[in-house]
Amino acid sequence: MTLTTMTDLHDLHDFIRRLPKAELHLHIEGSLEPEMMFELARRNGVALPYASVDAVRAAYDFTDLQSFLDLYYAGAAVLQTEQDFFDLTMAYVRRAMADNVRHAELFFDPQTHTVRGVPMATVFAGIAGALRQARADHGFSSRMILCFLRHLPEADAFATLDAALPLRTEYADLWIGVGLDSGEVGNPPEKFAGVFARARELGFHVVAHAGEEGPPAYVHGALDVLKVERIDHGVRSEEDPALMQRLAQSRMPLTVCPLSNLKLRVVKDLRDHNLARLLRAGLCVTVNSDDPAYFGGYMNANFVATADALALSSKEVVDLARNSFLAAFVTEDERRRWLDELQAFSA
Ligand code: HPA
Ligand code: ZN
């Protein structure tokens, strides 16, 4: 590498770090760092199957989505009290702010917690408490998206929605949508047609994971049956040219998570990732961290690694950040403010 290109790379990395951006695909349970896992286990008297923080990190050698989910659900068992959810969320917000994330939409999985006897209200209070404090203290903007676990029956998703609805008014400033996560293959969007129809009638925004490990047909299903407003992941859409055209023409946002795709072996090497091709085909692509404590990096790590592996230009990096604000579930005033900030930054 020549001296000039090294300087250029350094400049691009610095540019990425300072770039204002939004994160739209982040599972708050996936931001549980091993250090906090140990701390909460100690605080709550929970036994962990690991001898040390290093042993936890060593176990993060995933072969596919399910091999990750097994550890992710086990790790979440240390989350028990409102304070635990508050601390988890505040730790994420600090990392996000350090990466110049202006706005974050947090996925949370209530079923992972209610099944262990943690009340729905505890989960909401802890997460929302931290988000409100971050807004008051730092102007950090956020929303919450309740995800249904797709490996469980639709009836369980209905019960989860019913259990959360009494809290809707209290958290109207934050809880604005529902999503669909967990093991994709064998659990197509159609399985959740009823509960998504109900959520839409209630006025919630709707999103779903599709086309991460599942085929393009699942992306079609999420669009046609669930009527989602964004596709989470969606990288396998590239296998279906008609779907690609549809996504480009509708500017349907894709919340792509490059380091997640690498760690879960959706791609073998980041240089094989199709993010740049999707972007250059005119799709509304965004960069996100998914489960940063498990996949090796928060927002800026995802941006920097992707920009290096795919030789993204500074214009493309700005396009990715602009897409994140365009795809956010916020007021037009908020969107305008961030788009103006981005414009001034990149001028
Ligand atoms: N896919 C599906 N479910 C998940 C993920 C993911 O990447 N992360 C946390 N739950
Ligand atoms: Zn995800």
Give me the pLDDT at residue 2, please: 66
Instruction: State both tokens at 214.
Output: 């599942």
Distance 204 CA to ligand 1 centre (A): 21
Decide: 260 in ligand 1 pocket, CB within 6 A. yes
Ligand closest to CA 31: 1
Ligand 1 mutation pick, 26, 66, 68, max ligand atoms within 8 A of CB: 68
Ligand 1 mutation pick, 65, 111, 263, 289, max ligand atoms within 8 A of CB: 65
Residue nearest to atom 3 of ligand 1 (CA): 182
Distance 59 CA to ligand 2 centre (A): 20
Please enumerate in sequence order all residues whose Cβ is within 8 A of that of 67, keeping only pairs 6 or more positions apart, or say none: none
Give me the pLDDT at residue 3, please: 63
Ligand closest to CA 150: 1
> Does this model's pTM top 0.85?
yes
CA 304 to CA 287: how far, in whole Å? Answer: 10
Distance 11 CA to ligand 1 centre (A): 33
Decide: 29 in ligand 1 pocket, CB within 6 A. no
Decide: 65 in ligand 1 pocket, CB within 6 A. yes
What are the residue ranges spanned by the domains of the chain? Answer: 3-346
Ligand 1 mutation pick, 290, 294, 295, 302, max ligand atoms within 8 A of CB: 290
Distance 26 CA to ligand 2 centre (A): 6
Decide: 290 in ligand 1 pocket, CB within 6 A. yes
Distance 101 CA to ligand 2 centre (A): 18
Give me the pLDDT at residue 4, please: 63
pLDDT in tens, 232-278: 999 999 999 999 999 999 999 999 999 999 999 999 999 999 999 99
Mark the ranges of the chain whose per-residue pLDDT is less than 70. 1-4
Give me the pLDDT at residue 318, please: 98
Decide: 30 in ligand 1 pocket, CB within 6 A. yes
CA 326 to CA 85: how far, in whole Å? Answer: 29
CA 141 to CA 101: how far, in whole Å? Answer: 9
Catalytic residues: 212
Left, alpha or beta for 196 (phi > 0: left; psi -120 to 50: alpha)? Answer: alpha
What architecture (CATH level 2) is domain 3-346?
Alpha-Beta Barrel (3.20)
Name 254's bridge partners: 231, 285
Decide: 213 in ligand 1 pocket, CB within 6 A. no
CA 261 to CA 23: how far, in whole Å? Answer: 16
Distance 83 CA to ligand 2 centre (A): 24
CA 326 to CA 320: how far, in whole Å? Answer: 10
Measure Cα distances from 53 to 39, 85, 287, 301 in Å. 10, 20, 28, 21
Decide: 181 in ligand 1 pocket, CB within 6 A. yes
Residue nearest to atom 7 of ligand 1 (CA): 290
